[in-house]
Amino acid sequence: MEAILSEVFGLTAESIQQLEGYDNRNFLIESNGIKYVLKDYRFDKNLEMYLQSESEFLDFLSDKGEFPKVISSLKGNSQEIINDRIYRLLTFIEGDLFASIKGDESYLESFGKKIAQLHKSSIDYYDPKLLARIDNRWDLKNLHLCEPFFEDCQDPKERKFLKYFYQQFEQNVLPKYADLRKSVIHGDINEHNVLVNSNEVKTFFDFGDVNYGPLVYDLAIALTYIALNYNDSIGAVTSVVRAYHSVYELEEKELDMLYYLIAARLVQSLSNAANSSKIQPENKEYITVNSASARFLIEEWTSINPIYFRNKMYEACGKQLLDLKSVNEEIDRRNKSISKALSVSNLAIKGAAFQYMYGENGKTYLDLRNNIPHVGHCHPDVVEANAKMQFKLNTNTRYVYPELADYAEQLLSKFPSNLNKVYFVNSGSAAGDLALRIAQTVTGRSGVGILEQGYHGNTYRMIEVSHYKYGSKGGFDQKKNVVKFPMPWNYEVVMGAKAKDQLIDLALTELNRNTEIGAFIAEPIVGCGGQLELPEGYLKHLYSEFKERNVLCISDEVQTGFARMGRAWWGYELYDVVPDIIVLGKCIGNGHPMAAVVTTSEISEKFTNGMEFFSSFGGNPVSCATGMAVLDVLDKEGLKDNALKIGEYLKAGLARIASKYKGVGVVRGSGFFLGVELVDENDSSLPNTSLCHKIKKELFDNQILVGSDGPEDNILKIKPPMCFTKANADQFLAAFETAVITES
Ligand code: PMP
* Model pLDDT for residues 183-222, shown as the tens digit of each residue: 999 999 999 999 999 889 999 999 999 999 999 999 999 9
Q: What is the pLDDT of residues 464-522, one digit of tens each?
A: 999 999 999 999 999 999 999 887 765 555 455 566 777 788 888 888 887 789 999 99
Q: What is the pLDDT of residues 516-532, one digit of tens each?
A: 899 999 999 999 999 99
Q: For residue 57, what pLDDT band results from cuts at 50, 70 and 90?
A: very high
Q: How far apart are CA 486 and CA 501, in angstroms?
A: 12
- How many other C-beta atoms can be found within 10 angstroms of the C-beta atom of residue 277? 18
Which of 676-680's residues contact partners 24+ apart within 8 Å by CB, and which partners?
676/715, 676/716, 676/718, 677/530, 677/710, 677/714, 677/715, 678/714, 678/715, 678/716, 679/714
Q: What is the pLDDT of residues 370-384, one digit of tens each?
A: 999 999 999 999 999
Q: For residue 323, what pLDDT band results from cuts at 50, 70 and 90?
A: confident
With a Cβ cut-off of 6 Å, ligand 1 is lined by 427-429, 432, 455-458, 523, 527, 556, 558-559, 585-586
Containing H/E element for 45?
Answer: helix 45-61
Centroid of ligand 1 to alpha carbon of 206 (angstroms): 59
Q: How far apart are CA 558 and CA 429, in angstroms?
A: 9
- Closest residue by CA, ligand 1 atom 7: 457
- List, as one string, the DSSP characters of 353-368: EBTEEEETTS-EEEES
Centroid of ligand 1 to alpha carbon of 518 (angstroms): 21
Centroid of ligand 1 to alpha carbon of 45 (angstroms): 63
Q: How far apart are CA 385 and CA 57, in angstroms?
A: 44
Q: What is the pLDDT of residues 72-111, one digit of tens each?
A: 999 999 999 999 999 999 999 999 999 999 889 999 999 9
Residue 592 vs residues 70, 375, 378, 627: alpha-carbon distances, Å: 58, 12, 11, 9
**Residues 184-200 as b or e (16 or more Cβ within 10 Å = b):** bbbbbbbbbbbbbeeee
For Cα atoms 189, 191, 192, give the angle at the middle one, nearest 5 degrees.
95
Centroid of ligand 1 to alpha carbon of 434 (angstroms): 13
Would you say residue 368 has pLDDT above 70?
yes
User: Under a CB-based contact definition with an 8 Å cutoff, are residues 57 and 210 in contact?
Assistant: yes
Instruction: Enter the pTM of the model.
Output: 0.95
Residue 741 vs residues 66, 77, 626, 678: alpha-carbon distances, Å: 60, 76, 43, 13
Would you say residue 261 has pLDDT above 70?
yes
Centroid of ligand 1 to alpha carbon of 627 (angstroms): 17
- Closest residue by CA, ligand 1 atom 1: 456
- Could you give the angle at which helices 156-172 and 380-392 cross, rounded to 10 degrees? 60
User: Under a CB-based contact definition with an 8 Å cutoff, are residues 49 and 43 in contact?
Assistant: no
Candidate of 424, 429, 531, 583 to mutate for ligand 1, largest count of ligand atoms within 8 Å of Cβ: 429
Per-residue pLDDT at 19: 87
HSE of 625 in the Cβ direction (CA atoms, 13 Å)?
20
Q: For residue 324, what pLDDT band results from cuts at 50, 70 and 90?
A: confident
| Strands, E assignment, 166-274 | 182-185, 194-196, 201-204, 211-214
Give the atom of ligand 1 at the shortest distance from the alpha carbon of 523: 3
- List, as one string, the DSSP characters of 651-700: HHHHHHHHHH-TTEEEEEEETTEEEEEEB-SS-TTSB-HHHHHHHHHHHH
- How many other C-beta atoms can be found within 10 angstroms of the C-beta atom of residue 104? 13
DSSP 571: G
Q: How far apart are CA 513 and CA 534, in angstroms?
A: 23
